[in-house]
Structure 1
């Protein structure tokens, strides 16, 4: 199929492509229900009606990957991450088809990390066996909490014990790398609820945990409930206390933080795909609303699955917008992202003013200087955004909070 699109990458962006980490992100936009806190680009069957389906999405995905290879060449993917939405709604065979689409276009590096997100309720031992046989190497499960009343506030449909059971099933299917996601600070959550969630996570024997403070996003059902006074907004002091509680429990169990919101049992357990984002790698994001980055150029697809499929059916890359990152943009993002990593922010990346600000943060006990890097202290992790704002002195780019 001939490519018919006005979107082109400059030769400067293509220079060095393949020498940096290269990943592929696949966005599955389907969900069985909409969680009250979620503002991701997702759609239920009722919202889509007959305008789009998993079949039309998969057909579009295959076409997009074909066009992507025409544009940048067949670069074996170091990592693949299938996210959403709820990828497990595709079933084991559907996810196998997704990975085959990547294999038949870009191909996979010999040691590629291949991850899929999954909702515990749409998985089973047979599901994990199928995707393991298909070539997936890593599973990320949305647990959020082990407390039923917390899950209810979040509008999560799975039962409290299902996430742990799913994690054990994934391990029994041969997955060495299994992640469980937690959300903390939900209105009504108690310390004992969080402790029970942590105990459940550790009982599952997973080698990776992600934990995120609840954010009330504009336009969500949760935001409307907070605005009406039906639920209290998350409290910053409570969020800080809960983060410390999580960190202490996971560190004691042998999972060490490697990014502010992520803990892993060892280096192999870290999510290489996300590290590619944080370390400034290249990736192609396929699917409705997916974002891509190659050589300092970022672009994003149209959001609605029907429009996505329609453009691809006409041989057009479904690009909704793009931007060329300036040197200042790339510097800002590098400081923002590397500061959050355990490896830290390289001193060599900072000018004299920024280095002086980082040294003041060290005097305040927020970072420490180690092997040519500024690394967040335990207290600094609670104030990571503030540390970055002070270093860059550009508060308008960054949210408030820890």
Structure 2
């Protein structure tokens, strides 16, 4: 990279820039999981892995300290801190904190930042650690959106993924969330798991649609280096995901969801209407600003990106030491910001403004259109259905 990068040994605390004028959100990372899923390479830890070095209580105290420090740092910037348009509590398994714990997280944000009127407040949840009482507490505490990790309705697929919930629990949890008053509920799917059949995927889609949710995210299985799943594939115990199968499954998902009234607005995300779209993720894709709080969380402010210390115990120690708990930071160059703009925006149904491309990029856009991977809609470049299957290739062409 050609950015002015800084590391822990150099200068761990980022030199903050002014807000970029886009939406401002806060992401909170909860690093705790009851068990480790075999495909996951996120910054998460089980109780056995942490031992006595960290706990939800010590994490929460450190989180409050980081939010207080960030609010002070932002006050020193030339412009006023904008109201928080979106909050997203992810992980890990945030629902392990319980309803009271998650309400406390939102209270800590409110104590240091101003929530915009109509702010979107989302938490991820594992279906097995939810209940009607849990959702009632979240709704009363100010949450507006629930995202549930379903992955599949097939028991043998869940077993390969090392997921602990029973096949029907995700649908039941979604229905409980809706009964608690949540208008916006998402279910996550993973497709292409070794052993998954077309019938398994159809059963998963049947289950999703029966739940009455207004948002679905569907991701192809990626075998990440260092995971238990990668080791099983390397030993020949499981086949690697097949690219042609993944493409067929994606088209199958898209056809079913669009027929049911959920249309794509990002390559891997479908929503029933504009209000159902995840505004927090749109903030990432549209180049907004956000504070990432918690172990390993990433932040972005006015072209400066920084990332926190990853281990929960060291994260807490960094907060106690004062300053932001950053492990490193980088100032993005104009070239890097251009690259990220193209990479992210081209994935959106709203399209990439052709005026955002340089001369080489506009010439490449003509080739992409000629290949049937995108179309010109006014002054926008919008992926075709075939182009969504080859979105990464479109990006490479635009940036070549």
Q: Residue by residue, what CA displacement relative to the aligned partner does 1:357-380 show, whole Å, maximum 9, x if unpaired?
A: 111111111000002011000000
1:27: which partner in 2? 29
1:256 and 2:258 are equivalent in the alignment: no
1:282 aligned to 272, 289, 299, which one? 289
Alignment of 1:45 with 2:47, yes or no, is yes
1-structure distance, mates of 2:165, 2:328: 36
Residue in structure 1 matched with residue 7 of structure 2 by the alignment? none
In the TM superposition, residue 20 of structure 1 has moved relative to its aligned partner by 1.6
| SS of 2:159 mapped into structure 1 | helix
- Could you tell me how far 1:6 is from its partner in structure 2? 6.0
SS at 1:288's partner residue?
coil
1:266 and 2:266 aligned = no
Partner residue, 2:109: 102
- Normalising by structure 1, report the TM-score: 0.95
Alignment partners' CA distance in 2, 1:303 and 1:6? 13
Q: Residues 83-137 of structure 1: CA distance to partner in whole angstroms, max 9, x if unpaired?
A: 0000000000000000000000012111100000000000000000000000000
Q: Find the aligned partners of 1:302 and 1:67 in 2 and give their Cα distance.
A: 15
1:172 corresponds in structure 2 to 179
1:345 aligns with 2:355: no
Question: Could you say what secondary structure the match of 1:104 adopts?
Answer: helix
Of 241, 246, 261, which residue of structure 2 is paired with 1:234?
241
For 2:112, what is the secondary structure of its paired residue? Answer: coil
Out of 322, 329, 333, the residue aligned to residue 336 of structure 2 is: 329
Alpha-carbon offset, residue 313 of structure 1: 1.7
| 8 Å Cα contact 2:14/2:329 also seen in 1 | no
Report the Cα distance in structure 2 between the residues aligned to 1:329 and 1:222, rounded to whole angstroms: 32
Q: Which one is further off, 352-361 or 326-335?
A: 352-361
Tell whether the 8 Å contact from 2:14 to 2:328 is kept in structure 1 after alignment. Answer: no
Q: CA deviation at 1:312?
A: 1.0
Aligned partners of 2:237, 2:321: CA distance in 1, in Å? 47
Q: Which structure's relative contact order is higher, taking Cα pairs within 8 Å and 6+ residues apart?
A: 2
CA offsets per residue over residues 168-206 of structure 1, 9 Å max, x none?
A: 000000000000000000000000000000000000000
Please tell me the root mean square deviation across aligned C-alpha atoms, in Å: 1.0
Secondary structure class of the residue paired with 1:9:
coil
1:371 corresponds in structure 2 to 378
Matched, 1:9 2:11: no
**CA drift at 1:76:** 2.1
Aligned mates of 1:216, 1:7 — CA distance in 2: 33
Unaligned stretches of 5+ residues in structure 2: 1-10, 76-80
Deviation at 1:47, TM superposition (A): 0.1
Q: TM-score normalised to the size of structure 2?
A: 0.95
Offset, 1:352:
1.8
Q: 1:354 offset after TM fit, Å? A: 1.2
Alpha-carbon distance change, 111 to 24 in structure 1, aligned in 2, over 3 angstroms: same
Q: Distance in 1 between matches of 2:286 and 2:321?
A: 35
Equivalent of 2:251 in 226, 244, 249: 244
How many residues matched? 385
2:150 counterpart of 1:143: yes
Counterpart pick for 2:74 among 63, 72, 75: 72
The match for 2:305 is 298
User: Following TM superposition, by how much is the alpha carbon of 1:391 offset from its aligned partner in structure 2, in angstroms?
Assistant: 0.9
